[in-house]
């Protein structure tokens, strides 16, 4: 199947800051590509390069078969984009925003009215047509943004942290909408700081300092960490952490709520040694076991490997 | 019909209507400026407060004071008893001029001698001082001529005194030398220039500031459609302002509109290319509305001062006169004043119109070249 977005070796610098350094990615129809990574990793810049809002210093981007830079406007005709910052007109109503973005995309008359009505129902904003966009709640704004991005039935949808600052229920709603968009064969690129959202993507790219460090399906990524994570619940916490970190096979101890995730080189050694060591230090162990790694474990270990390359 | 262009124009008009406060300001500012400049910014000097130290108090002294009173340049505000008092009044700014009549004034005049009075001026405001000075000299000369005639008549020489030369003046276009005749066309120029450049600059920068430009960039709208669509509503507003100022100028200030209205609006449209271009140029440089405002302001001040808006170009140093040729407003002011007051046709102003058109094309071209449908 043909790629709807194909980006090769993208570079972008702002002054002396290299924001994007050699990013390549390919997304096919019906695929959801998740861009994850810490703030400042270059996710937004990558998104902006892909929609042509920024011009890449180097590299090539094909969108729906059109080359950005040469056939920019044809390429853009296939793109729906929801920017990280709310970028609709706050002083226009919900309906006026939709109509504006529809007509600027060349829709008019009954076709535009029909499409707008369908989308309003789809995102659950029917009944709010006359409300000004800046008087919508955060979640409703994002839904309106999604509707505006979908008004011309784009083949490719780019969403830059679409659920930032949105409540969990609305986040859930939003993803249900995305799943339906994907089912229609749209290619979606979404950047997100949330691991539960990342887990829903077909493929993930983990960005750090302008590069995609690893790429793969969520399950492939977690598989690479299989047998490398222990869960520890123990009191008192400070002593538990100190004793655990001292074990030779332990790479890192991280707090996850009321527990620790302990990243290890192998599980057998620590599982044998730690109970005695902890008991000796007067630590009361509730639970110590190997667990399947989460995406978060994967990314934190990737980050640790980047920041302290000597240990990696 | 171009759907993209129409939709952006319609959107812009909706946004203008959603912000009635700005709209009202845009409509009120020209009226306010018109009244301020029509009345307050006048160079006509009247009612200069005068302190008089009359040591004579005779009939001739009274005649002199009557002559000062009759000319409405002066107001006999203070009657003092010493030079020290007179000095104090001028020091404190209560009197702007002082007149000292010597004790022997009447007596010297009746005995056929020559005499003199002292006239003191506060020169801290040169405009007032210059007018008061020439007014005082005129009053003195005219009174002296009258006294001379009187003396000759008294001697029995009943000849009628006839001056050998008389300058007969005719003032064209503005016979009463009304300040408003000069100011109203100027205000039109200033409004078109300042308001449109500021409005267009902020209208475009606002999209960037609010982030909406990011959404627009991703649509297939062409750069020129975006620019034209955003500028056109402000052209309409600016032309409405022009008509507003023309109507109030004619109706309230009685400023004649002798030229062809179509020609006035047409030339104004040519001038708008420059001011819109400057606004657009500022928007490509500025990142915030505040920056855009200030950049336009920076260009606005030299334009106003070096275009003959307040001060006549002829009175400026030669270097500044040369610089004034780089100000589009200069040409427009010449044109609009000629069109309104003199009622000339295109022929008489074609040089200035061509200059204005060249500036318009150059500025617009530079702005269009800089304007990019991108974030970087």
Residues A70-105: pLDDT tens digits? 999 899 999 999 998 888 999 999 999 999 999 999
Q: Is the pLDDT assigned to residue A308 strictly greater than 70?
A: no
Residues of chain A with Cβ-Cβ distance to B11 below 8 Å are 89, 92, 96, 100
Q: Please state the domain count of chain B.
A: 2
- How far apart CA B229 and CA B225 sit, in angstroms, is 6
Return the residue in B14, B220, B374, B375 with the most chain A beta carbons within 10 A, the one to mutate for interface testing.
B220
Residues of B with a Cβ under 8 Å from any A Cβ are 3-4, 6-8, 10-11, 14-15, 18-19, 210-222, 374-376
Distance (Å) from the alpha carbon of A196 to chain B's nearest alpha carbon: 27
Residue of B nearest to A151 (CA): B219
- Considering the domain architecture, whether residues B23 and B79 belong to the same structural domain is answered as no
- Dihedrals phi, psi of B166, to nearest 5 degrees: -130, 135
- Considering the domain architecture, whether residues B34 and B93 belong to the same structural domain is answered as no
Q: Does A83 touch chain B (CB under 8 A)?
A: yes
With residue B263 as reference, give the H or E element that holds it.
Answer: helix B261-285
- Considering the domain architecture, whether residues B219 and B139 belong to the same structural domain is answered as no
Span A206-212, average pLDDT: 93
- Considering the domain architecture, whether residues B94 and B213 belong to the same structural domain is answered as no
Q: CA of B121: how far to CAs of A312, B76, B129, B138, B237, in Å? A: 90, 14, 6, 15, 48
Say if the Cβ atoms of A88 and B7 lie within 8 Å: no
Bridge partners (DSSP) listed for residue A263:
A229, A252
- Domain annotation covers residue B166: no
- Domain annotation covers residue B73: yes
Residue of B nearest to A108 (CA): B3
Query: Residue A311: what pLDDT?
Result: 43
Residues 6 or more apart whose CB falls under 8 angstroms from that of B328 comprise: B193, B271, B274, B275, B303, B356, B359, B360, B363
- Domain annotation covers residue B221: yes
- Considering the domain architecture, whether residues B217 and B355 belong to the same structural domain is answered as yes
pLDDT by position in tens, chain B (length 376) = 688 999 999 999 999 999 999 899 989 988 888 888 777 766 667 788 999 999 998 888 998 999 888 887 889 999 999 999 999 999 998 999 999 999 989 888 888 888 889 999 998 888 788 888 988 998 998 888 888 888 887 777 666 666 778 788 787 887 777 777 888 888 888 888 988 899 889 888 999 888 899 999 999 888 888 888 998 998 888 888 888 988 998 898 888 888 888 999 899 999 999 999 999 999 988 888 899 889 888 888 888 888 888 878 888 889 999 999 999 999 999 999 999 888 888 888 999 999 999 999 999 888 888 888 788 7
- Domain annotation covers residue B162: no
Beta-strand relationship, A17-28 and A3-14: antiparallel
Last residue of a domain, one of B139, B154, B169: B154
Residues of chain B with Cβ-Cβ distance to A142 below 8 Å are none
- Domain annotation covers residue B128: yes
Candidate from B8, B210, B220 with C-beta closest to A76: B220
Q: How confident is the model at residue A312 (pLDDT cuts 50, 70, 90)?
A: very low
Bridge partners (DSSP) listed for residue A208:
A211
Full domain range(s) for residue B134: 48-154
Q: Does A73 touch chain B (CB under 8 A)?
A: yes
Candidate from A14, A87, A106 with C-beta closest to B212: A87
Span A112-118, average pLDDT: 94
- Considering the domain architecture, whether residues B200 and B108 belong to the same structural domain is answered as no
- Considering the domain architecture, whether residues B192 and B267 belong to the same structural domain is answered as yes
Span A223-227, average pLDDT: 86
pTM of the model: 0.79
Beta-strand relationship, A229-235 and A259-264: antiparallel
Question: DSSP code of B329?
Answer: H
Dihedral sign from CA coordinates of A45, A49, A55, A57? positive
- Considering the domain architecture, whether residues B63 and B195 belong to the same structural domain is answered as no
Residues of chain A with Cβ-Cβ distance to B18 below 8 Å are 91-92
Q: Does A63 touch chain B (CB under 8 A)?
A: no
Distance (Å) from the alpha carbon of A24 to chain B's nearest alpha carbon: 21
Residues of chain B with Cβ-Cβ distance to A103 below 8 Å are 3-4, 6-7
Burial B120-158 (b: 16+ CB within 10 A, else e): bbbeeeeebbebbeebbeebbeebeeeeeeeeeeeeeee
- Considering the domain architecture, whether residues B25 and B89 belong to the same structural domain is answered as no
Last residue of a domain, one of B154, B188, B210: B154
Say if the Cβ atoms of B218 and A106 lie within 8 Å: no
- How far apart CA B335 and CA B343 sit, in angstroms, is 10
- Considering the domain architecture, whether residues B61 and B194 belong to the same structural domain is answered as no
Bridge partners (DSSP) listed for residue B51:
B78, B98
Which single residue is written with the structure tokens 């400042």? A40
- Domain annotation covers residue B160: no
- Considering the domain architecture, whether residues B282 and B223 belong to the same structural domain is answered as yes
Query: Residue B7: what pLDDT?
Result: 92
Burial A299-311 (b: 16+ CB within 10 A, else e): bbbbbbeeeeeee
Residues of chain B with Cβ-Cβ distance to A87 below 8 Å are 210-215
- Dihedrals phi, psi of A159, to nearest 5 degrees: -125, 120
Say if the Cβ atoms of B15 and A92 lie within 8 Å: yes
Residues of chain A with Cβ-Cβ distance to B220 below 8 Å are 73-74, 76-77, 105-106
Say if the Cβ atoms of A83 and B211 lie within 8 Å: yes
CATH number of the CATH domain containing B132: 3.40.1710.10
Query: Residue B157: what pLDDT?
Result: 65
Beta-strand relationship, A203-208 and A32-36: parallel
- Considering the domain architecture, whether residues B122 and B33 belong to the same structural domain is answered as no
- Domain annotation covers residue B331: yes
- Domain annotation covers residue B170: no
- How far apart CA B352 and CA B270 sit, in angstroms, is 11
Question: DSSP code of B39?
Answer: I
Instruction: Quote the tokens at residue B224.
Output: 């020129």
Domains of chain A with CATH codes: 3-222 (3.40.50.300), 227-291 (3.30.70.100)
Residue ranges of E strands in chain A: 3-14, 17-28, 32-36, 58-63, 66-67, 79-82, 156-160, 187-191, 203-208, 211-216, 229-235, 250-256, 259-264, 284-290
């Amino acid at each position: 199947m043909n790629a709807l977005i194909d980006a090769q070796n993208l570079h972008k610098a702002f002054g002396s800051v290299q924001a994007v350094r050699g990013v390549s990615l390919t997304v096919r129809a019906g695929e959801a590509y998740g861009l994850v990574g810490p703030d400042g990793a270059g996710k937004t810049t990558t998104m902006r390069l892909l929609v042509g809002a920024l011009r890449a210093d180097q590299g090539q981007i094909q969108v729906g078969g059109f080359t950005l830079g040469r056939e920019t406007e044809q390429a853009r005709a296939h793109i729906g984009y929801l920017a990280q910052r709310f970028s609709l007109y706050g002083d226009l109503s919900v309906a006026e925003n939709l109509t504006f973005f529809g007509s600027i995309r060349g829709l008019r008359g009954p076709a535009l009215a029909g499409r707008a009505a369908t989308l309003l129902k789809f995102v659950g904003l029917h009944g709010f047509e006359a409300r000004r966009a800046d008087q919508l709640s955060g979640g409703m704004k994002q839904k309106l943004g999604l509707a505006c991005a979908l008004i011309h039935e784009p083949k490719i949808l780019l969403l830059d942290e679409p659920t930032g600052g949105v409540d969990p229920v609305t986040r859930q709603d939003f993803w249900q909408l995305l799943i339906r968009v994907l089912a229609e064969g749209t290619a979606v690129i979404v950047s997100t700081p949330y691991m539960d959202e990342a887990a829903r993507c077909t493929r993930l790219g983990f960005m750090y300092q302008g590069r995609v460090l690893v790429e793969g399906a969520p399950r492939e990524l977690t598989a690479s960490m299989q047998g490398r994570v222990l869960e520890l619940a123990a009191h008192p916490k400070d002593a538990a952490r100190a004793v655990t970190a001292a074990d030779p096979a332990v790479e890192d101890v991280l707090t996850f709520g009321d527990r620790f995730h302990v990243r290890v080189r192998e599980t057998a050694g620590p599982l044998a040694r730690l109970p005695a060591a902890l008991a000796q230090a007067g630590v009361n162990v509730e639970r110590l076991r190997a667990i399947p790694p989460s995406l978060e474990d994967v990314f934190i270990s990737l980050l640790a490997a980047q920041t302290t390359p000597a240990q990696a | 019909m171009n759907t993209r262009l129409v939709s952006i124009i319609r959107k812009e008009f909706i946004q203008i209507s959603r912000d009635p406060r700005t709209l009202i300001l845009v409509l009120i500012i020209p009226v306010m400026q018109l009244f301020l400049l029509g009345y307050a910014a006048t160079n006509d000097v009247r009612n200069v407060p005068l302190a008089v130290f009359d040591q004579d108090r005779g009939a001739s002294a009274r005649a002199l004071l009557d002559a000062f009173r009759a000319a409405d340049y002066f107001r006999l505000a203070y009657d003092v008893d010493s030079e020290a008092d007179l000095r104090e009044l001028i020091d404190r700014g209560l009197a702007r001029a002082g007149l000292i009549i010597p004790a022997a004034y009447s007596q010297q005049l009746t005995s056929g001698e020559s005499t003199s009075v002292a006239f003191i001026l506060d020169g801290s405001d040169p405009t007032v001082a210059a007018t008061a000075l020439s007014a005082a000299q005129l009053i003195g000369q005219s009174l002296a001529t009258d006294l001379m005639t009187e003396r000759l008549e008294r001697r029995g020489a009943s000849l009628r005194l006839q001056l050998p030369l008389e300058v007969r003046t005719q003032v064209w276009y503005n016979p009463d030398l009304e300040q408003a005749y000069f100011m109203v066309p100027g205000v039109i120029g200033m409004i078109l220039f300042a308001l449109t450049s500021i409005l267009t600059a902020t209208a475009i920068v606002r999209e960037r500031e609010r982030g909406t430009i990011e959404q627009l960039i991703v649509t297939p709208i062409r750069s020129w459609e975006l620019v034209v669509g955003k500028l056109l509503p402000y052209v309409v507003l600016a032309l409405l302002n022009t008509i507003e100022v023309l109507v109030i100028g004619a109706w309230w200030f009685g400023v004649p509109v002798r030229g062809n209205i179509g020609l006035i609006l047409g030339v104004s449209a040519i001038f708008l290319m420059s001011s819109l271009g400057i606004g657009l140029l500022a928007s490509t440089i500025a990142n915030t509305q505040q920056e855009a405002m200030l950049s336009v302001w920076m260009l606005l001040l030299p334009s106003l001062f070096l275009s003959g808006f307040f001060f006549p170009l002829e009175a400026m140093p030669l270097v500044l006169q040369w610089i004034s040729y780089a100000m589009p407003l200069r040409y427009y002011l010449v044109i609009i004043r000629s069109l309104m007051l003199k009622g000339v046709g295109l022929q008489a102003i074609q040089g200035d119109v061509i200059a204005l058109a060249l500036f318009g094309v150059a500025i617009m071209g530079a702005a269009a070249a800089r304007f990019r449908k991108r974030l970087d």
